[in-house]
């Protein structure tokens, strides 16, 4: 495979992931209910609810469900770390890595996982 094609593919994935993170942030900051209720506990509950649903719909098993739930966590960590460096160009550091913007962006990745899960229904 051509290295240029791989770089293009990775760039498209990063733009897609940044978009999911930014959409999650935007929706949660505009919606008063989500702004008040999206926190660590609600994200954990949503992930735990998503886990058995993934196992039932995909019929793949336990480890596939864990990977399906673990992927949004890893992507949210990566993009939350890169977002201020690339998009905002903020030189000030936040005191906490897992702040409210992290959980808002994480919700965007959970929405992305649910959309991905809908492709298994057909």
Q: Tens digits of per-residue pLDDT, 39-98? A: 999 999 999 999 999 999 998 889 999 999 899 999 999 998 888 777 766 555 667 888
Tokens of 119: 């492709």
The CA distance from 111 to 102, in Å, is 14
| Total tally of structural domains belonging to the chain | 1
Question: Within a domain: residue 48?
Answer: yes
Question: Within a domain: residue 11?
Answer: no
Question: Within a domain: residue 7?
Answer: no
Tokens of 106: 């994480």
Question: Within a domain: residue 2?
Answer: no
Question: Within a domain: residue 4?
Answer: no
Query: Which residues, at least 6 apart from 23, have a Cβ–Cβ distance to it below 8 Å?
Result: 108, 111
Kindly state the percentage of the chain with pLDDT values over 70.
Answer: 93
Does position 103 have pLDDT exceeding 80, yes or no? yes
Question: Within a domain: residue 60?
Answer: yes
Helix 3-30 / helix 100-118 crossing angle, nearest 10 deg: 120
Q: Which domain holds residue 85?
A: 17-118
């Amino acid at each position: 495979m051509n290295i240029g094609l791989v770089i293009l593919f990775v760039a498209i994935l990063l733009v897609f992931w940044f978009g999911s993170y930014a959409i999650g942030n935007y929706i949660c900051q505009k919606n008063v209910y989500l702004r008040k209720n999206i926190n660590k506990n609600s994200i954990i509950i949503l992930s735990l609810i998503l886990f058995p649903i993934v196992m039932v719909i995909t019929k793949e098993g336990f480890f596939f469900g864990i990977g399906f739930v673990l992927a949004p966590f890893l992507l949210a960590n990566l993009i939350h770390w890169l977002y201020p460096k690339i998009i905002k160009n903020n030189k000030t550091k936040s005191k906490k890595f897992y702040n409210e913007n992290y959980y808002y962006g994480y919700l965007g990745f959970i929405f992305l996982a649910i959309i991905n899960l809908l492709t298994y229904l057909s």
